[in-house]
Amino acid sequence: MTRTVKTQVAIIGAGPSGLLLGQLLHNAGIDTVIVERQDPDYVLGRIRAGVLEQGLVELLREAGVGARMDREGLVHDGFELAFDGRCAHIDLKGLTGGKTVMIYGQTEVTRDLMEARAHCGAQTFYSASNVQPHELQGEQPYLTFEHDGETLRLDCDYIAGCDGFHGVARQSIPAGVLKEFERVYPFGWLGILADTPPVADELIYANHERGFALCSMRSPTRTRYYVQVGAEEKVEDWSDERFWNELKSRLPAEVAARLVTGPSIEKSIAPLRSFVVEPMQYGRLFLLGDAAHIVPPTGAKGLNLAASDVSTLYRILLKVYREGRSDLLEQYSAICLRRIWKAERFSWWMTSLLHRFPDTDAFSQRMQQTELDYFVGSEAGRRTIAENYVGLPYEPIE
């Protein structure tokens, strides 16, 4: 026996893309049902992004979930680029006419969105298995899935594929429709989370001949630090002591001297990849966030790109339901991709500039240092870094 449920927009995945789209649409009176493979604790246990562009900050406020972020998040006016034994400051606020970024963990964003969804009574099926989209080219698409021993069919007008890189949405599009663009980098980031005070008030991105390092934070008492490691490295081979020593060796001496170390509370290695599919839609299925694109985290863009896809689809669906503008649906992919490719470019550029590659020799190392020196020494150079880091504007939907 299959039980049938109806909604206007069926959302696959309760990560930040799915939950944020669901909240915005719910507030606008458009019914959504979210179907998620994992349970809520698993979703909340994933330690990921932490730098929110102004566009995402404003979107969270618009969704009515910005209060705790505004109370507890840290507004950063700039960041540091470390190379050749020194730090150079990028004044985001001064260079972009007042724009800043917010430091607030993806886990906290997800928690706020989950609480808002539970509070407003919108339906979410957690721990759903065998989720399958159907009839994507027709006018009545639907999902089937299993939940609590029951088989369900979810009828809808549109399906939002917010199910990440390994999800089912992209895979359900017939072979030959999508074109994939990919670069896999020959290294990863070993990250640790620790309850120690941040070494600086702002993030420090370091280029060093031993490899890249990043000093980041989640709060005034919780830090997130990373070092570049080889793609074959195993987290078990990295004791806390080995991690701290490696991090210190890649930072300018005066920064390393004031670094406070402590036991890690999470330690993991993330591979680095650039990936985009074109187009991001197929019939009534729309791909959002990591389901359609991945960036290496060097530009802090992954979560922020997911947010701009959400904003685009949300504003299009508003016009579809309120003004009958179904012509806009066809523009979704092209609008998203224009911004995505620019963020892919910035993330690739930052990655190329700051990491050590297998073929990085003494000449390439000098070229990286000289490019950094040139960019930070020129106001035009600093401005181009700053305007990309705070996030390029969202395209209006007209």
Ligand X SMILES: Cc1cc2nc3c(=O)[nH]c(=O)nc-3n(C[C@H](O)[C@H](O)[C@H](O)COP(=O)(O)OP(=O)(O)OC[C@H]3O[C@@H](n4cnc5c(N)ncnc54)[C@H](O)[C@@H]3O)c2cc1C
Binding ligand X (rule: CB under 6 A), the pick from 35, 56, 313, 350 is: 35
Q: How many binding residues for ligand X (CB under 6 A)? A: 33
Stretch that binds ligand X, among 36-44, 75-83, 172-180, 228-236 (CB under 6 A): 36-44
For residue 107, count other CB atoms closer than 10 A to its CB: 18
- Contact yes or no for 150/3 (Cβ under 8 A): yes
Give the Cα separation of 114 and 94 in Å (integer): 35
Tell me 336's DSSP state.
H
- For the bound state, the minimum distance from the C-beta of residue 325 to ligand X, rounded and expressed in Å, comes to 25
- For the bound state, the minimum distance from the C-beta of residue 212 to ligand X, rounded and expressed in Å, comes to 13
Binding ligand X (rule: CB under 6 A), the pick from 9, 26, 33, 37 is: 37
Tell me 324's DSSP state.
-
Q: Is 270 in the site for ligand X (CB under 6 A)?
A: yes
Strand (E) or helix (H) holding 134: strand 129-134
Given the residues 142, 185, 205, 225, select the one marked as catalytic: 205
Let me know if 297 is a catalytic residue: yes
User: Which of 325, 345 has the CB closer to ligand X?
Assistant: 345
Angle, nearest 10°, between helix axes 16-27 and 302-323?
30
Let me know if 119 is a catalytic residue: no
Let me know if 104 is a catalytic residue: no
Q: Is 16 in the site for ligand X (CB under 6 A)?
A: yes
Let me know if 314 is a catalytic residue: no
Return the structure tokens found at 100.
């800043």
Stretch that binds ligand X, among 35-43, 96-104, 199-207, 257-265 (CB under 6 A): 35-43
Q: Is 259 in the site for ligand X (CB under 6 A)?
A: no
114: nearest Cα among 124, 104, 105: 124
> 367-386 mask for ligand X (x: CB under 6 A)?
--------------------
Give the Cα separation of 238 and 184 in Å (integer): 23
Angle, nearest 10°, between helix axes 332-354 and 302-323?
170
- For the bound state, the minimum distance from the C-beta of residue 241 to ligand X, rounded and expressed in Å, comes to 23
Q: Is 289 in the site for ligand X (CB under 6 A)?
A: yes
Let me know if 205 is a catalytic residue: yes
Residues making up the chain, counted from first to last: 398
For residue 16, count other CB atoms closer than 10 A to its CB: 27
- For the bound state, the minimum distance from the C-beta of residue 166 to ligand X, rounded and expressed in Å, comes to 6
Q: Is 215 in the site for ligand X (CB under 6 A)?
A: no
Site for ligand X in 302-321 (CB under 6 A): 302-303, 306
Q: Is 43 in the site for ligand X (CB under 6 A)?
A: yes
Q: What are residue 88's phi and psi, to 5 degrees? A: -120, 135
Site for ligand X in 119-158 (CB under 6 A): 128, 131
- For the bound state, the minimum distance from the C-beta of residue 277 to ligand X, rounded and expressed in Å, comes to 13
Beta strands 150-155 and 2-6: pairing type? parallel
Cα–Cα distance list, 141 to 148, 172, 182, 283, 293 (Å): 23, 13, 30, 9, 24
User: Which of 111, 325 has the CB closer to ligand X?
Assistant: 111
Q: Is 301 in the site for ligand X (CB under 6 A)?
A: yes
- For the bound state, the minimum distance from the C-beta of residue 304 to ligand X, rounded and expressed in Å, comes to 6
Given the residues 208, 293, 301, 355, select the one marked as catalytic: 301
| 6 three-class SS | strand
Return the structure tokens found at 274.
């650039």
Q: Is 272 in the site for ligand X (CB under 6 A)?
A: no
Instruction: Give CA angle at 169 (167, 171), nearest 5°.
Output: 80
Given the residues 16, 26, 76, 208, select the one marked as catalytic: 76
Q: Is 168 in the site for ligand X (CB under 6 A)?
A: yes
- For the bound state, the minimum distance from the C-beta of residue 339 to ligand X, rounded and expressed in Å, comes to 14
Answer whether the bond into residue 186 is a cis peptide, omega within 30°. Answer: no
Q: Is 56 in the site for ligand X (CB under 6 A)?
A: no
Answer whether the bond into residue 279 is a cis peptide, omega within 30°. Answer: yes
Q: Using the structure block, give the residue that is written with the tokens 């078990």.
A: 236
Q: Using the structure block, give the residue that is written with the tokens 């523009």.
A: 331
Binding ligand X (rule: CB under 6 A), the pick from 10, 13, 203, 247 is: 13
**Residue numbers of the site for ligand X (CB under 6 A)?**
12-18, 35-38, 43, 48-50, 106, 128, 131, 162-164, 166-168, 270, 289-290, 297, 300-303, 306
